[in-house]
């Protein structure tokens, strides 16, 4: 049995009030998080608005089919609404069928509200049979809808499945009836019999996180690919069949059935304060041709819209937008306190100009609103530096910074915010340790202890992305995976829940004794390897550490060719690469084989548009330097490459141009980390909330010394442990879930920190000694 190492956690005096809104959520329609996810709607493409602009090959009948085949005619004349122009015409006998996203999940007895708009030609209406058919075409639920004669009518009924299962929606048009159909919906109903807005199991999973705030409607989605794709809140609050649909820059379609109104309702349902993010008058810089900026006329309207949003959320019933809110069923204000402006924007002059105009207008009219600026897509680098300089010069209240890094980075950055200068505060709006392993979840926990420790700097934080439908993801890792019928929370979800579920009100100084940070060193040996997934490359004139090497070739399947052994702290490599086939570039690996630490130098990384140096630790990769835009590798055009490793310094040349010159980060990793806060209960009892991470194979026991030692204590300890560090992967539920136990003790409290664990302990005096 491995012996437990002993550490001490000394809880010192209280330093500052905990940031009250610290733990929140960030929701974006990515990975089918909304349509196909949190949106309770079961019918996919119910408005027949899918198109090739959403995704290659998509069209108004995507997700639909008919029996007999191809009997639905797509039309746009005299539509239900001009912003929802497509509908279908069917002449019976014909059946229109929708599979939902993969399938429609049913629960026995859970009533489903079916609704559509119909129109018949002339005098004749009719009866339409509707059903949910299971995989074997067995009926899970049946009903009938009367389709009135004449113009567009709203028709509805209830389908109550008799079994749990997965099925498809069928709408059977009888012989002799011709009917137009649009805005087909199928939603579970709540206790009051009304259709639900949010899928109940996912809503429950979010509520369990007890979010203080919700940021919406997205990161990249908020500023969009091109100005036409930018998210305008006003087009998302009316009746659902009148909302403006948009292509989703993540490669699918936004119905916007969850629009601004529903986001505010989600905040109410979860008790969170809303944090809407509006574009800063520029679109995403990843748009071909770069970020486009609104012209002056458009800006004037846009700024008025932003001010109207604040009025919609907070205005009295005597204001036009407050009145609108009430008309939509919400006389009470939504309590908006924060407003994000911009997301990960490139900090250009256009951005600065448009951002400043929006922020100035909000400051002038609504000084009560905390405006949150942006510092680019990375936690360092050019946009980060200029974004922060701009925000500080403008005294922007808060700045949103984003970081998707490997677990090592999080352990190295536990104290990141200890040295931030005073002034603009921080919203860590998007972060995740790459991979969905226990290792990543613990790295996030260590980092989050660091966030909680610095309430003077860090006010808000949210993991990203939040939701992902299995089989429909564009981004991993994610916090919560789901299918039609299951919710699969990751280990990171449990970590988030442990933080938000138990919070103190004041932060305490903490000293950990007996566990030093772990040094990060360069590997002592490794090899140089070449790869070219997606291309065929010939390498000639190879010189490794001064010695010539025979020419080699790599192929599109990505196998690597080994050039020889190197010392990763002192190595040099030169060669000429000529692409013979394919459309990508190539990469050089230097150092240990996975999962050890090594560098990956991509010449023509990310769609052959850049060069970038990545570093992989424990088999999980980070951008270490770049990406830096580049012309790309061309077929038959040789590229001369040179690489030098001198200690931590990395230099890379392409065609004689020095593309990368930086030092690898060798700061130590904080793998054993503790934090403490306290709160005073209504009867005056002080409770301490202790958090500790042991991201290590060695089990530890921690003696906790409180500032006001009490005699006997009761500790409720929640522990996440019991899996190997690399257990856990995307699309599955966490291999571990937290367990709770109670410890009754006297004097110092002893807490067990199993290998690879995170604990949150609430320590209170035993009843007779409370106070
Ligand atoms: O969370 C996924 C994406 O990551 C967000 O849209 C964007 O802000 C970031 O690049």
Interatomic CA distance for residues 481 and 733, integer angstroms: 7
pLDDT at 675: 98
Instruction: Residue 427: name the closest of 57, 19, 72 by CA.
Output: 19
pLDDT at 771: 44
The single residue listed with the structure tokens 């360069």 is 522
Q: Is 285 in the pocket of ligand 1 (CB under 6 A)?
A: no
Strand 526-531 with 561-566, pairing: antiparallel
- Kindly give the parts of the chain with pLDDT less than 50: 769-771
Interatomic CA distance for residues 690 and 272, integer angstroms: 24
Closest CA to ligand 1's atom 9:
219
Q: Is 624 in the pocket of ligand 1 (CB under 6 A)?
A: no
Residue 584 C-alpha to ligand 1 middle, in angstroms?
24
Interatomic CA distance for residues 311 and 332, integer angstroms: 12
Report the largest interatomic distance among the alpha carbons of the chain, rounded to a whole angstrom. 89
Instruction: Residue 327: name the closest of 337, 312, 308, 314 by CA.
Output: 312
Instruction: Residue 581: name the closest of 543, 659, 509, 635 by CA.
Output: 635
Instruction: Residue 94: name the closest of 183, 166, 180 by CA.
Output: 180
Residue 229 C-alpha to ligand 1 middle, in angstroms?
16
Instruction: Residue 8: name the closest of 515, 517, 694, 764 by CA.
Output: 515
Tokens of 234: 């006003």
Instruction: Residue 670: name the closest of 510, 479, 506, 462 by CA.
Output: 510
Tokens of 632: 């790309």
| Distance, CA of 694 to chain centre | 26
Q: Is 30 in the pocket of ligand 1 (CB under 6 A)?
A: yes
Interatomic CA distance for residues 697 and 196, integer angstroms: 46
Determine the residue of 25, 27, 28 to mutate for testing ligand 1's pocket, defined as the one with the most ligand atoms within 8 A of the Cβ atom: 28
CB 476 within 8 A of CB 768: no
pLDDT at 288: 84
CB 700 within 8 A of CB 6: yes
Helix (H, G, I), strand (E, B) or coil at 384: helix
Residue 453's H or E segment, with its range, is helix 438-453
Tokens of 664: 């690898």
Tokens of 430: 């998007």
CB 243 within 8 A of CB 256: yes
Q: Is 387 in the pocket of ligand 1 (CB under 6 A)?
A: no
Interatomic CA distance for residues 474 and 506, integer angstroms: 39
Q: Which ligand 1 atom is at minimum distance from the Cα of 220? A: 6
In this structure, what DSSP letter does residue 50 have?
A: -
Q: Is 219 in the pocket of ligand 1 (CB under 6 A)?
A: yes
Q: Calculate the CA dihedral of residues 411, 417, 418, 422 and round it to 10 degrees.
A: 170
pLDDT at 137: 64
Q: What length does the chain have?
A: 771
Alpha helices in 486-534 (DSSP H): 491-501
Instruction: Residue 762: name the closest of 738, 743, 739, 736 by CA.
Output: 743
Interatomic CA distance for residues 193 and 603, integer angstroms: 58
Residue 236's H or E segment, with its range, is none
Residue 566: CB atoms within 10 Å: 21
Tokens of 160: 């109550």
**Backbone angles phi and psi of 105, in degrees to 5:** -80, 135
State the catalytic residues: 344
Residue 220 C-alpha to ligand 1 middle, in angstroms?
6
pLDDT at 192: 95
Q: Which ligand 1 atom is at minimum distance from the Cα of 377? A: 10
CB 438 within 8 A of CB 671: no
In this structure, what DSSP letter does residue 174 have?
A: P
Residue 219 C-alpha to ligand 1 middle, in angstroms?
5
In this structure, what DSSP letter does residue 607 have?
A: H
Residue 376 C-alpha to ligand 1 middle, in angstroms?
11
Q: C-alpha angle with apex 202: 161 to 443, nearest 5 degrees?
A: 150
Tokens of 240: 């659902």
Closest CA to ligand 1's atom 4:
219
Helix (H, G, I), strand (E, B) or coil at 351: helix
Q: Which ligand 1 atom is at minimum distance from the Cα of 344? A: 8
pTM of the predicted model as reported, rounded to 2 decimal places? 0.95
């Amino acid at each position: 049995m491995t012996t437990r190492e002993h550490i001490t956690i000394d809880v010192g005096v209280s330093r500052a009030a905990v940031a009250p809104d610290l733990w929140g959520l960030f929701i974006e329609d990515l990975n089918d998080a909304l349509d196909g996810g949190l949106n309770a709607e079961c019918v996919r493409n119910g408005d027949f608005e899918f198109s090739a602009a959403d995704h290659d090959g998509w069209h108004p009948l995507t997700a639909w089919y008919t029996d007999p085949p191809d009997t639905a005619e797509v039309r746009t004349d005299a539509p239900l609404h001009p912003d929802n122009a497509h509908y279908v015409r069917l002449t019976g006998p014909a059946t229109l069928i929708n599979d939902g996203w993969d399938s429609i999940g049913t629960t026995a007895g859970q009533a489903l509200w079916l609704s559509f708009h119909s129109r018949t030609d002339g005098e004749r209406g009719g009866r339409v049979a509707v059903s949910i058919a299971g995989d074997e075409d067995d009926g899970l639920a049946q009903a009938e809808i009367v389709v009135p004669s004449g113009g567009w009518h709203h028709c509805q009924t209830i389908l109550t499945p008799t079994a749990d299962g997965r099925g498809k929606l069928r709408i059977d048009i009888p012989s002799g009836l011709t009917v137009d159909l649009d805005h087909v919906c199928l939603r579970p109903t709540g206790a009051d019999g009304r259709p639900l807005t949010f899928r109940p199991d996912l809503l429950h999973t979010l509520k369990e996180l007890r979010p203080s705030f919700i940021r919406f409607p997205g990161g990249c989605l908020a500023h969009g690919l091109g100005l036409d794709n930018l998210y305008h809140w006003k087009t998302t609050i009316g009746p659902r069949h009148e909302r403006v649909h948009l292509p989703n820059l993540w490669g699918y379609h936004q119905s916007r059935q969850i629009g601004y109104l529903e986001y505010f309702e989600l905040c109410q349902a979860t008790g969170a304060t809303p944090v809407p993010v509006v574009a800063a008058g520029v679109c995403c810089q990843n748009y071909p041709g770069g970020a486009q900026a609104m012209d002056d006329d458009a800006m004037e309207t846009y700024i008025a819209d932003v001010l109207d949003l604040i009025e919609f959320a907070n205005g009295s019933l005597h204001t036009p937008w407050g009145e609108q809110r009430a008309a939509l069923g919400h006389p009470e204000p939504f309590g908006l306190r924060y407003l994000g402006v911009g997301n990960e924007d490139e900090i250009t002059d256009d951005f600065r100009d448009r951002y400043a105009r929006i922020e100035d207008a909000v400051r002038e009219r609504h000084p009560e609103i905390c405006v949150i600026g942006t510092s680019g897509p990375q936690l360092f680098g050019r946009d980060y530096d200029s974004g922060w300089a701009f925000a500080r010069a403008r005294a922007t209240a808060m700045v949103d910074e984003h970081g998707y890094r490997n677990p090592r980075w999080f352990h190295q950055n536990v104290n990141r915010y200890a040295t931030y200068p005073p002034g603009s505060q921080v919203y860590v709006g998007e972060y995740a340790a790459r991979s969905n392993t226990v290792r990543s979840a613990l790295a996030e926990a260590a980092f989050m202890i660091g966030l909680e420790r610095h309430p003077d700097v860090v006010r808000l934080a949210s993991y990203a992305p939040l939701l992902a439908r299995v089989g429909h993801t564009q981004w991993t890792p994610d916090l919560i995976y789901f299918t039609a019928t299951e919710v699969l929370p990751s280990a990171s979800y449990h970590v988030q829940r442990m933080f938000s579920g138990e919070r103190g009100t004041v932060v305490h100084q903490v000293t950990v004794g007996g566990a030093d940070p772990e040094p990060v060193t360069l590997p002592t040996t490794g090899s140089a390897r070449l790869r070219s997934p997606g291309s065929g490359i010939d390498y000639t004139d190879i010189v490794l550490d001064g010695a010539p090497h025979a020419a080699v070739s790599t192929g599109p399947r990505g196998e690597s060719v080994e050039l020889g052994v190197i010392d990763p702290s002192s190595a040099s490599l030169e060669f000429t690469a000529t692409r013979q086939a394919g459309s990508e570039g190539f990469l050089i690996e230097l150092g240990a084989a996975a999962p050890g630490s090594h560098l990956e130098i991509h010449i023509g990384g990310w769609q052959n548009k850049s060069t970038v140096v990545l570093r992989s630790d424990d088999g999980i990769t980070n951008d270490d330097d770049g990406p830096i835009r580049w012309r790309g590798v061309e077929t038959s055009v040789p590229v001369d490459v040179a690489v030098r490793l001198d200690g931590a310094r990395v230099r890379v040349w392409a065609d004689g141009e020095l593309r990368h010159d930086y030092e690898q980060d060798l700061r130590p990793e904080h793998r054993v980390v503790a934090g403490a806060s306290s709160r005073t209960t209504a009867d005056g009892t002080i409770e301490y909330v202790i958090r500790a991470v042991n991201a290590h194979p060695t089990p530890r026991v921690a003696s906790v010394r409180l500032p006001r030692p009490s005699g006997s204590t009761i500790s409720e300890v929640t522990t996440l442990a019991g899996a190997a560090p690399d257990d856990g992967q995307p699309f599955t539920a966490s291999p571990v879930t937290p367990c709770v136990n109670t410890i009754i003790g006297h004097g110092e409290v002893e807490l067990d920190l199993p290998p690879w664990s995170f604990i949150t302990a609430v320590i209170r005096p035993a009843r007779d000694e409370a106070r």
